[in-house]
Amino acid sequence: MIPEDKLREIQSYLDRAENPLFFFDDDADGTCSYILFKKYCQKGRGIILKSLPILDLNFYDKVDSYSPDYIFVLDIAEVKQEFIDKCNVPIIWIDHHTVQNRKGIHYYNPLMWKKADGTSTTACCYQVTKKDLWIATLGAISDWAIPEYAKEFSKKYPELLPNNIKEPSKAIFETKLGFIVKLLLFNLKGKTSDAMKSIEMFTKINDPYEILNKTTKEGMHIYDSGEKYIKEYNKILEKASSLHDKNEELLLFVYPDRKISYTSELSNELLYRFPDKVIIVGREKGDEIKISFRSAKFNILEKVLEASKNLNGRFGGHEHACGGSIKSRDFDNFIKNIKSNLKQ
């Protein structure tokens, strides 16, 4: 966890900001981090990164056009030094991926203080704001962690997260809170403008039952927008599950390009169904394959980085959950390399 004095520092930046700009990752952890900060300060504009979680000069035009007094970067694995150097305003970067070394930035990562700290960015942001417990629990659990404050949530909402649920995977796939996680994730699909519309509606919701019972227009929008994707997702999930072979270490599933990507969600749910497997889910897109990897047994990021040496690929993430892309022409060799690495 980020030390208390550092949390107060972050809070002071939020309190001083009059025109903040928030860059955040397009998963539930990054989105809930943004929602917590936006609800706290009631100011600013959010920019969701829907490609790779890398903030570089391609995003400087957003800074130039918005003229913020503070920039907050949430759950983004990499911020390029050139971007930092060009921005003439304070940048506060809160993240939980591999620690980076940058100059001219206020950087907060729980891994700086404790190795193997599994705190999500949402949990870090909640320690700053101390508000909106349900959003904080939603974001942390979506990132495969049950935070300490989940006990408080379970007391308040026992039907959504029973207090006997101790494993993040069960919370995600067997509870009503997990269903809201899925609704949120599917609201982030499609056009950036549609995703941001849903996210801004989320900032106006004060109770999860507004979504589950569709008691407000915002809750109804979140429910209906997410549900429309669930039917298609379930069909693809069953097709992927049918490829399971008990004699193979890998479960490899590649599907053709669609308007909507389900790659990350598929890999998570497949790992829950088949926890002893290394899960590789790829989506064909142009001359590339976008891939998500999951493994409970291996440091899969290490295996992926090793397998992609001398190939046209870009990958990043966590030890047991990572992703990226590789040129289609290199995909077969890449998979061969991974299979070979798993035997070592």
Domain-terminating residue out of 189, 224, 259: 224
* pLDDT tens track for 208-218: 999 999 999 99
> Could you tell me if 271 and 244 are in contact, meaning their C-beta atoms sit under 8 angstroms apart?
no
In order, the DSSP letters of 199-243 are: HHHHTT---THHHHTT-SHHHHHHHHHHHHHHHHHHHHHHHHHTT
Question: Are β-strands 106-108 and 91-94 bridged in parallel, bridged antiparallel, or unpaired?
Answer: parallel
**Angle at the Cα of 62 from the Cα atoms of 60 and 65, rounded to 5 degrees:** 110
Instruction: Judge whether 41 lies within some domain.
Output: yes
Instruction: Judge whether 231 lies within some domain.
Output: no
User: What CATH number did the domain enclosing 130 receive?
Assistant: 3.90.1640.30
Q: Are residues 56 and 152 in the same domain?
A: yes
Instruction: Judge whether 257 lies within some domain.
Output: yes
Q: Are residues 220 and 247 in the same domain?
A: no
Output DSSP code: residue 309: T
- For tokens 């700290």, what's the residue? 117
Over its C-alpha atoms, the chain yields an Rg (Å, rounded) of: 20
Q: Are residues 122 and 191 in the same domain?
A: yes
Instruction: Judge whether 285 lies within some domain.
Output: yes
- For tokens 């193979």, what's the residue? 248
Instruction: Judge whether 234 lies within some domain.
Output: no
User: Which residue numbers in the chain have pLDDT < 70?
Assistant: none
Q: Cα–Cα distance between 192 and 326 in angstroms, integer?
A: 23
Q: Are residues 31 and 110 in the same domain?
A: yes
> Could you tell me if 277 and 298 are in contact, meaning their C-beta atoms sit under 8 angstroms apart?
no
Q: Are residues 18 and 148 in the same domain?
A: yes
Q: Are residues 168 and 269 in the same domain?
A: no
Q: Are residues 209 and 332 in the same domain?
A: no
Q: Are residues 188 and 127 in the same domain?
A: yes
Q: Cα–Cα distance between 142 and 286 in angstroms, integer?
A: 29
In the structure encoding, which two tokens stand for residue 74, read together?
């949430």
Instruction: Judge whether 297 lies within some domain.
Output: yes
Q: Are residues 88 and 132 in the same domain?
A: yes
Inter-CA distances, 161 with 119, 140, 170, 223, 265, Å: 19, 13, 10, 18, 20
How close are the terminal C-alpha atoms of the chain, in Å?
Answer: 34
* pLDDT tens track for 244-288: 998 899 999 999 987 788 998 999 999 999 999 999 999 999 999
Range of the domain at 76: 4-224
Q: Are residues 41 and 90 in the same domain?
A: yes
Instruction: Judge whether 230 lies within some domain.
Output: no
Instruction: Judge whether 229 lies within some domain.
Output: no
Q: Could you tell me the pTM of the whole model?
A: 0.87
> Could you tell me if 138 and 177 are in contact, meaning their C-beta atoms sit under 8 angstroms apart?
yes
Indicate the number of domains in the chain.
Answer: 2
Q: Residue 190's pLDDT is what?
A: 83
> Could you tell me if 213 and 179 are in contact, meaning their C-beta atoms sit under 8 angstroms apart?
no
User: What CATH number did the domain enclosing 272 receive?
Assistant: 3.10.310.40
Q: Residue 63's pLDDT is what?
A: 97
- The total number of residues written for the chain in this structure: 344
Q: Are residues 212 and 327 in the same domain?
A: no
Q: Are residues 38 and 185 in the same domain?
A: yes
Q: Residue 198's pLDDT is what?
A: 96
Inter-CA distances, 244 with 169, 236, 257, 328, 341, Å: 19, 14, 22, 23, 21
* pLDDT tens track for 90-136: 999 999 998 999 999 999 999 999 987 889 999 999 999 999 999 99
Domain-terminating residue out of 224, 257, 277: 224
Domain-terminating residue out of 193, 224, 255: 224
